[in-house]
Amino acid sequence: MAQGQIRKALSGYYYVYQDGGLIQCRGRGVFRNRGESPLVGDIVDYTKEGESDGYVMKIYPRKNELVRPPIANIDQAILVFSVKEPAFNTILLDRFLVVLESFSVQPILCLTKMDLLTDEENEQLKPYIDDYQKIGYTVLTTYKDDASLVQRLSPILENKVSVLAGQSGVGKSTLLNTLIPALDLKTDAISQSLGRGKHTTRHVELIEVCGGLLADTPGFSSFEFETIEKEELTACFPEFLRLSEGCKFRGCLHTKEPKCAVKEALETGEIRPYRYEHYEQILQEIMDRKPRY
């Protein structure tokens, strides 16, 4: 029995990394019987059958897992957002952030296409960048042919399991081209190598980049907050969470309750109005959700 990490899942096989190579494994029937399924990112015990085949025998406890795409034990997500074409969208960004916070995945914001902004648009964007940095998020800005990007991203990616997320058209493929020049891939070839090809079986794969592991996340664009309860939403807004200890009532939802520290901070400008509006919108969605039985 040996221990390794699943780096790729494809057509019922799990490719376990150990000692610089991949072992093609099947999952044991016991997982199916328990309704469990090994995921990319899992640390597992496996047995070898021959040189490069084997069976996954045990899955170690996960620190987190995403359903779409199916991947486990993620440290951080690089959220790629363009500032123009398509325009920067704070509600979409906050929805991404809430989902990541709920899964205990650290978000890193990467704002692309900065070179397309006029001076005036640049000035309008700056307060938003300041806001997210004050909340505690790392914000990287990048532009066309940005030679410094790899240098800036390398220490962030090193020794971490990262996922790449963002809408189409925001510059994810350009970012991947910059990070993995050895592949020298065209956009659609990158898509295929990372499981996003139009005519390939979609799969999730962790690839080695900058001393860490990176997965593209083709399915990570759905924002149902189905796993978040209304009382848990505060924890997905870090600046709300810090202040909520000052609320009079435990479990305060920061809407109609008296002596709410979050609403007081909204009035003093410590919390930005658009963040509070997005909190209210998402809270309403959670409260309107049909009960699950």
DSSP-assigned beta bridge partners for residue 10: 13
Q: Is the pLDDT of residue 203 over 80?
A: no
pLDDT of residue 68: 72
Closest to 142 (Cα-Cα) out of 109, 165, 164, 167: 109
Q: Is the pLDDT of residue 264 over 90?
A: yes
Among 23-27, 133-137, 204-208, 289-293, which stretch is predicted with the lowest mean pLDDT?
289-293
| 3-state DSSP assignment of residue 47 | strand
Task: Give the domain-ending residue among 61, 84, 107.
Answer: 61
Task: State whether 17 and 75 are in the same domain.
Answer: no
Q: Which domain holds residue 241?
A: 230-288
Taking residue 260's Cβ as centre, other Cβ atoms within 10 Å add up to 20
Among 117-131, 166-180, 239-253, which stretch is predicted with the lowest mean pLDDT?
166-180
Q: How confident is the model at residue 129 (pLDDT cuts 50, 70, 90)?
A: very high
Task: State whether 153 and 188 are in the same domain.
Answer: yes
* Mean pLDDT, residues 54-61: 93
Q: For 151-182, how does the pLDDT look when each residue is reduced to its tens digit (9 = 90+)?
A: 899 999 999 999 988 777 777 777 777 777 65
Task: State whether 119 and 99 are in the same domain.
Answer: yes
CATH value at residue 270:
1.10.40.50
Task: State whether 156 and 35 are in the same domain.
Answer: no
- pTM score: 0.86
293 domain-assigned: no
pLDDT of residue 222: 54
224 domain-assigned: no
Q: Is the pLDDT of residue 70 over 90?
A: no
66 domain-assigned: no
Closest to 213 (Cα-Cα) out of 75, 44, 37, 43: 75
Q: How confident is the model at residue 218 (pLDDT cuts 50, 70, 90)?
A: low
Task: State whether 187 and 125 are in the same domain.
Answer: yes
- The domain tally of the chain equals 3
| Residue spans of beta strands (DSSP E) within the chain | 2-10, 13-18, 21-27, 43-49, 53-59, 65-66, 71-72, 76-82, 106-112, 138-141, 161-165, 204-205, 207-209, 212-216
Measure the CA angle with vertex 253, ends 274 and 232; round to 5°: 95
| Residue spans of beta strands (DSSP E) within 62-137 | 65-66, 71-72, 76-82, 106-112
pLDDT of residue 181: 66
Task: Give the domain-ending residue among 184, 216, 248.
Answer: 216
Task: Give the domain-ending residue among 185, 216, 247.
Answer: 216
Task: State whether 197 and 254 are in the same domain.
Answer: no
Task: State whether 53 and 139 are in the same domain.
Answer: no
Task: State whether 115 and 172 are in the same domain.
Answer: yes
